[in-house]
Structure 1
Amino acid sequence: MSVLASLALRVRDVVRGVWREAAMFGTVGALAFVLDNGGYTLLVFGFPGGGGGPMRAVPVQASVIATGAATVFSWLANRYWTYRQRHRENVARELALFTFVNVIGMVITAGMVVLSRQMLGLDSALSDNIARACGWFLATLFRFFTYRRYVFIPA
Structure 2
Amino acid sequence: MVGVTDPWRRRLGEVARFFVVAQAATWVSFVLFNVLLHGMFVGDALLEDQAIPAYVLANCVGMVISFHGSRGWVFPHRPPRQADGGLTAYVVINLAAMVLPVGCLYLSREVLGLDSALADNLSANGIGLVLAFGARFLLFKRFVFPLPAESTPDAVATR
Shift of 1:140: 0.6
Q: Cα distance 1:34–1:147, how it changes in 2: closer, same or farther (>3 A)?
A: same
Judge conservation of contact 2:36–2:46 (CA < 8 Å) in 1: no
State the structure with more CA Rg.
1
Shift of 1:68: 2.5
Match of 2:16 among 20, 23, 33: 23
Aligned length: 140
1:26-58, Cα deviation, whole Å (9 max, x unpaired): 0000000111122345567474xx655xxx545
Q: How far apart, CA to CA, are the structure 1 residues paired with 2:76 and 2:61?
A: 20
What corresponds to 1:147 in structure 2?
140
Q: How far apart, CA to CA, are the structure 2 residues paired with 1:33 and 1:151?
A: 20
Q: How far apart, CA to CA, are the structure 2 residues paired with 1:21 and 1:66?
A: 25
What corresponds to 2:91 in structure 1?
99
Q: How far apart, CA to CA, are the structure 1 residues paired with 2:31 and 2:106?
A: 25
Q: Cα distance 1:122–1:102, how it changes in 2: closer, same or farther (>3 A)?
A: same
Q: How far apart, CA to CA, are the structure 1 residues paired with 2:107 and 2:47?
A: 28
Match of 2:113 among 108, 123, 128: 123
TM-score, normalisation: structure 1: 0.70
What corresponds to 2:153 in structure 1?
none
Judge conservation of contact 2:55–2:102 (CA < 8 Å) in 1: no
Q: Cα distance 1:46–1:108, how it changes in 2: closer, same or farther (>3 A)?
A: closer
Q: How far apart, CA to CA, are the structure 1 residues paired with 2:47 and 2:91?
A: 24
Match of 2:28 among 35, 40, 44: 35
Q: Cα distance 1:26–1:135, how it changes in 2: closer, same or farther (>3 A)?
A: same
> Mean alpha-carbon deviation: is it higher for 94-103 or for 37-46?
37-46
What residue ranges of structure 1 are gaps of 5+ in the alignment?
1-8
What corresponds to 2:156 in structure 1?
none
Q: How far apart, CA to CA, are the structure 2 residues paired with 1:88 and 1:112?
A: 32
Shift of 1:107: 0.5
> Mean alpha-carbon deviation: is it higher for 68-77 or for 128-137?
128-137
